[in-house]
Amino acid sequence: MLILKGQQALINAGINALEITSNTPGFEQEIAKARTAYKNTLIGAGTIINTTLAQQAIDAGAQFIVTPNTNKSVVELAHQHGLPVLMGALTPTDVANAIEYNADIIKVFPAGSMGVGYFKALTGPFSEAELMPVGGVNLDNLSQWFEAGACGAAVSSDFCKVVNNEQERSKLTRLVKSYISKLP
């Protein structure tokens, strides 16, 4: 979840995609506001666990859908609207199902709980899949996830900051730039 006051700092620092989770109060309005405010940034909806939430996100203008779970109906609905889906999966069965359901990217979640070794083990049998760790990704281990075969990584806790003053904005900007400097 991204707090609106910090979104501009994230974008100014080089972030070009923001996810607004469905458990954010008024998430549909927040998506619409972000789409208006940040025209050159991809604005997506996260924590989309079913088609009801997916439709609300689509109606609000989400440009991509992120799920914590493996749900074929969500992928079908999103793809009908031309939206990519980052589908949550943890087990090999979940990953295989997400591939079968045509998920665009498979969000291994919660990746940090299982560790980089587990993630790397998934890349063996699923070497053709676009796997992305979510949960537990931080500045200290970002490079390890990419070395293990990640196609991308999602960062949440470090970036979910309310920015109340220039000092906090500057600190968040430096943190984002530190992450970006570690990208392959």
The predicted model scores a pTM of: 0.91
Write out pLDDT tens, residues 89-130. 999 999 999 999 999 999 999 999 999 999 999 999 999 999
Q: Per-residue pLDDT averaged across 74-103, rounded?
A: 98
Report the catalytic residues.
19, 107
Residue 3 has pLDDT above 70, yes or no: no
pLDDT confidence of residue 49: 98
Quick one: DSSP state of residue 86?
A: E
Confidence at 5, pLDDT banded by 50, 70, 90 = low
Distance CA 85, CA 5 (A): 26
User: In sequence order, what are the beta bridge partners of 131?
Assistant: 106
Q: At 44, is the secondary structure helix, strand, or coil?
A: strand
The pLDDT value recorded for residue 115 is 96
As a whole number, the mean pLDDT across the chain is 93
pLDDT over 70 for what percent of the chain? 97
**151 pLDDT above the threshold of 70:** yes
Q: Which residue has the tokens 């025209």?
A: 39
